[in-house]
Each structure stands twice: as C-alpha cells, then as structure tokens.
Amino acid sequence: MQKLVLIRHGESVWNQENRFTGWTDVDLSDGGLQQAISAGKLLAKNGYTFDVGFTSVLKRSIKTMHFVLEQLDHLWIPIHKSWRLNERFYGALQGLNKDETIEKYGEEQVQKWRRDPHEHPPAITEQDDRFPGHYLRYNDLTYRELPLTENLSETMDRALPFWHESIVPAIRENKKVIICAHGNSLRALIQYIENLSDEDVAKLDIPTATPWVYELDDRLNCVKHYYLK
Ligand SMILES: O=C(O)[C@H](O)COP(=O)(O)O
C-alpha cells in the first residue's frame, strides 16, 4: 500500500478578494501562509515523510509546498515544477470579482464557466497582458499549449501527461509523494484517480491547505481516501 498526499495551496490574496485567478501569479494571503504552516505541522504530527514533491509554476502553490516542507524539516527533497499542474486558465475572467461576474452574467452561466467540463470561459487575445506567451516561465510551451481560455476537460488533458510521465513513475519506485497544486488541477487528478463522473467532480470542493490522503494498491487503484484533519 502506497500513500499519496495532495494539497491545494493556502488561501491566496485573490481568493481573499474573491477574484478569478487562473494563471495569474498572485501571492498567498497572510492567512494562507499560516494555513500552509498548519498543514505542515499536521503532517509532521501524523508522522508523514516525503521523498519527492510536485507542484505548479505559480508562487501560491510553490510557497505552500515550501512552508509545508519546512515544518517537516524536508526542504531538501527534490521538487518538480510544471505548468501542467497550474490552475485552470480562466481566460478573460481572470481578475474579475466572482460576485460581480454573477451579477453581470447570472448564476447559471457563471456556474457553467466554473464547473461544466466543456464550457469555455471567454477567451483573451494574444495581445492581452494575461497571455502566457508574454512570460519567461512559459518559454518551453509550444504555441498550441499556450491557452487563451481553458475548460475543465482541457485542464485534465494537460495535467494527465505529467501525472503519467512524472508522478506515477515516482510512486512506482516506492517514493513517498506530495503534490501541491490548485483547485481545478487537483480536481482533474482526483477525477482520474477515482474515476469520478463529471457530475460528481462538479460537486467536489477542495478546501485550501488541507492534506488529502490516498491509499493506493499496487496498481495505483484507490483503496481509501480521507482528509487529514
Ligand atoms: O482560479 C481561481 O479563481 C480559483 O483558484 C479556482 O476557482 P473556482 O473554484 O472558481 O474554479
């Protein structure tokens, strides 16, 4: 039996302001930083250790991983960062207040943008400051990989290659793995690991900085899962 720990980043400044964030590289709020420290303490208290970590290229997730590992005296373990674990790219919604967006477009439409796997949020253009092609950290992406908008199913399609090519091999080598990522990239991994329907995954709300533990059998099927509290 192998344990795998997933954790969503601590509260960010834009979570606090209730804004769509996506690939915007906002920092943790003070509360989010404290949440990350508490999550690390909880893992330490329960005797968890890790050999390797995986995270996105966004600082709210990178910093959460750092503060969690610091509590475990594990800052030395290798951390692999990939854009594939980034939050879903929320297109032209990035930066908008969620309540104001509901007032403007209606609850039903906003809920579709947030949770319907096939609904695209309004797209940006390549001229927009939010276009990832303007940022050094995305230099290695092909033109087709640079999003203008992204639905949940596309988030899953770009997260899964990293799961299969980088994370699964580490688990198969019996390494203890921690993944720190985002609401929607984790939703994609959870849907795949547990084989959840689109309806079930839409109901899944992942709290910030709360370790989600999987116990996996030899074939990496989920035997048990629970939040560490
Ligand atoms: O990018 C965001 O705004 C959040 O991290 C996830 O938002 P959601 O719960 O609205 O998808």
- 138, exposed or middle or buried, with CB in 10 Å at 0-12, 13-18, 19+? middle
| pLDDT number for residue 75 | 98
Among protein residues, the one with the nearest Cα to ligand 1's atom 7 is: 20
Atom of ligand 1 nearest to the CA of 114: 11
Per-residue model confidence as pLDDT tens digits over 151-189: 999 999 999 999 999 999 999 999 999 999 999 999 999
Q: Any binding-site annotation on 38?
A: no
Among protein residues, the one with the nearest Cα to ligand 1's atom 3 is: 20
* φ, ψ for residue 5, nearest 5 deg: -115, 125
Mutate which of 180, 184, 187, 206 for ligand 1 pocket (most atoms within 8 A of beta carbon):
184
| CA distances, 18 to each of 12, 14, 35, 107, 137 (Å) | 10, 6, 18, 15, 26
Distance 41 CA to ligand 1 centre (A): 26
Asked if residue 1 has pLDDT above 90, the reply is: no
Distance 100 CA to ligand 1 centre (A): 15
SS3 227: strand
Asked if residue 47 has pLDDT above 90, the reply is: yes
Name which of 137, 6, 1, 3 is nearest 68 in CA terms.
Answer: 6
Angle at which helix 98-105 crosses helix 107-115, to 10 degrees, equals: 120
Quote the ipTM score.
0.95
Among protein residues, the one with the nearest Cα to ligand 1's atom 10 is: 114
Q: What is the DSSP code (8-state) at residue 95?
A: T
Atom of ligand 1 nearest to the CA of 12: 5
* Contact present, 104 and 88 (Cβ < 8 Å): no
| pLDDT number for residue 229 | 85
Tokens standing for residue 82: 């990939």
Average pLDDT over residues 53-74: 98
Distance 190 CA to ligand 1 centre (A): 16
Atom of ligand 1 nearest to the CA of 20: 3
> Helical H runs in 20-131?
30-45, 59-71, 98-105, 107-115
* Contact present, 56 and 87 (Cβ < 8 Å): yes
| pLDDT number for residue 50 | 98
Domains and CATH numbers, the chain: 2-217 (3.40.50.1240)
Name which of 128, 19, 34, 147 is nearest 83 in CA terms.
Answer: 147
| pLDDT number for residue 123 | 98
